[in-house]
Chain A
Amino acid sequence: MTPRVFRARHAMGPPVRGLALVANDGFSARYDLDRTTGIFSRPTHKLFGESYVGKILILDTAKGGVASAWMLNEMTSRGLMPLALVLNSVNPILVQGAALADLSMLVGFDEDITAAVVSGSEVEVNPKVGELAVLR
């Protein structure tokens, strides 16, 4: 099967492959996560109760404050981080955090990427060419 490929306008980090966790909701390390257990902890978040550890998170946009710039690095140091972040749009904080944590990131597609990928799909993030491939 030929993988479906989506091109991102902004990219960073090394190539990774894993399972997608998808929701049309935002992302903030401080507001949305219990970083000690690796789950979404905000009751109103669409991924409430789900583990983000080792997943390729596909979400709409970055939300909230500046703490994520540190927190991604801290989560990485404890092995409780997502494998990559894929977003429709982003604020500088997540990018700065991903840069410090060396986390892969793709941002900005011609379609709503949260509607284009089904949660649980196996996907490949390749920032070198700015592509998200849905493998199965």
Chain B
Amino acid sequence: MSRRDPRLRSMKLNDEEQDICAGKSGPVLQEALRHQIKVGEFFGAEDFVPVTQAHIMADTESLGEAGIRWLERLASTEDRHRVCIPTMTDPRGTDFAKAAFLGQTSAMLELERRAIAAFIELGVVMTDTCINYQTIQAPTRNEHVAFGDTGVVIYSNSVCGARSNFEGGPSALAAGLTGRTPRYGFHIADTRCATLRVLVSFTPGSLNEWGALGGVIGRIAGNYWAVPVIEGMDGSPGSDQLKHFGAAMASFGSVAMFHIAGVTPESEGEALRAGLPNHRVTRDDMHALQKSYRSDDRVDVVVFSAPQLSLFELQTLAELCKGKRFAVPLLAVTSPQVKPDCDRMGFTASIENAGGTVLSGMCFYQSYAREIAEAQGWKCLATNSAKLVNILGGYGYQPTLASMEACVAAAVSGKLPR
């Protein structure tokens, strides 16, 4: 982070921004811009930068009643201000069609309905996805955006070369309303330079391995301002591999950007930067992270989520499910954009004929995971998502990280294979 004297606070505002601040464009824009100035001045932002898209994380478990009321107040003001750039949503807290199966209460669903109504009133597009870079519109190199979900931000910065900070729900909505965001952090070229070098002595295979490696590197990097440049892996990973890699790195380390030498668009020269601290990561390090989450072979539920599954992940899962009969629930979570294709291609039928459930527009950990565990009696959870195992420990689960194949086998027997 840049050094800043807390007593020296003043962003440069243009005429329009000064008018907004003075309330000449109504109370909604005024509140949004003032919030952004507060954050921008904390980080020493000089001014605002225009953004082209915003992405809002706003599941109602996070919002609570207080957050919903805040949204409803913004949506119901007399000036009826709306977002001025394409503004979309991260997964919601439920799939209404499967809420009863999940054991979600009517109170939870009512909060969801109220949040959705407020967002629609504000002009937000209810995409309900954390893989918008795969399904809606990937940002382009140097495009300034205000994205919410950490997995979306790290992918957009690192793989697409776009420019975004982690924008929490209130700030992402503010960016949608004002069409700008404070110019600090990953909107600035210097922040995007590598700060540590990581030499990896192997190339991950399965998605859980990509996630586990991301988790190991995230722990090494350790904070938002660290930018690892990674060397030593063979070939070019695909979108799903980088999705799990980045989402886990962001989850374990709050990291917002990485470079893979020779692969990601801004990696040229980053590994040659002088004075970078060096770290080595071996296959044993990756296995150690995976093993650290395995405390019980018993499995109460299998979950594929966080990030939502792409069509190709669902295709792989559907193949694995053919001819199987599950003894414990298996949940596969995807986006509303992918779900119709999953249905159309017969993938949903394959998964559900085996006893699984395909959910749309939600994410498991953003859907009252603690209450679901209590309602369903689920404790031991198997998943191939490193991000999910990192999160669910705090929700009372005993999560285990395993391959998609091992997770499907566990759904059949109720036990993870040794």
Give chain A's interface residues, CB within 8 Å of chain B.
8-12, 26, 28, 30-34, 41-44, 61-71, 73-74, 76-78, 89-93, 95-97, 99-100, 105, 107-108, 127-130
| Bound form: Cα–Cα A42–B17 in Å | 42
Q: B391 contacts A65, CB within 8 Å?
A: yes
Chain B positions within 8 Å of A76 at CB level: 66
Inter-subunit contact B223/A70 (CB<8 Å): no
With A70-B168, A129-B6, A129-B7: A89-B42 Cβ-Cβ less than 8 Å: no
Q: Are A96 and B390 in contact (CB under 8 A)?
A: no
- B36 CB to nearest chain A CB (Å): 9
- Contact yes or no, A62 B254, CB < 8 A: yes
Whether the Cβ atoms of A92 and B394 lie closer than 8 Å is no
- CB–CB A127/B167 < 8 A: no
In order of increasing CB-CB distance, the 6 nearest A-B pairs are: A69-B168, A130-B6, A74-B64, A77-B66, A91-B224, A11-B6
Known: A67-B62, A69-B170. A61 touches B4 (CB 8 A): no
Residues of A within 8 A of B176 (CB): none
Most B CB contacts (10 A, CB to CB) among A30, A65, A69 go to A65
Partner of B66, one of A73, A89, A128: A73
User: Contact between B167 and A92 (Cβ–Cβ < 8 Å)?
Assistant: yes
CB neighbours of A61 from chain B (8 A): 222-224, 254
In the complex, chain B residues 141-169 whose Cβ is within 8 Å of any chain A Cβ: 148-150, 165-169
Partner of B394, one of A31, A66, A95, A130: A31
* Cβ contacts under 8 Å, B169 to chain A: 66, 69-70
Q: A31-B391, A108-B3, A130-B5 are in contact. Are A92 and B62 (CB under 8 A)?
A: no
B171 contacts A42, C-beta separation under 8 Å: no
The answer to whether A96 touches B62 (Cβ under 8 A) is: no
| Total interface residues in chain B, CB < 8 Å | 50
Instruction: Tell me whether A64 and B65 are in contact in the complex, defined as CB-CB below 8 angstroms, given that A10-B42, A31-B394, A92-B185 are known contacts.
Output: no
Give the residue name and chain of the A residue nearest to B396 (CB).
Answer: A41
Chain B residues closer than 8 Å to A67, beta-carbon distance = 57, 59, 61-62, 168, 366
Cα distance, A10 to B396, chains bound together (Å) = 34
Bound-state CA distance A129–B8 (Å) is 10
Q: With A12-B42, A33-B394, A91-B254 in contact, is A70–B67 under 8 Å at CB?
A: yes
Q: Does B12 contact A (CB under 8 A)?
A: no
Which chain B residue shows the least CB distance to A36? Answer: B370
User: Once bound together, how far apart are the Cα atoms of A10 and B41, in whole Å?
Assistant: 9
* Known contacts A9-B6, A10-B42; A92/B168 CB under 8 A: yes
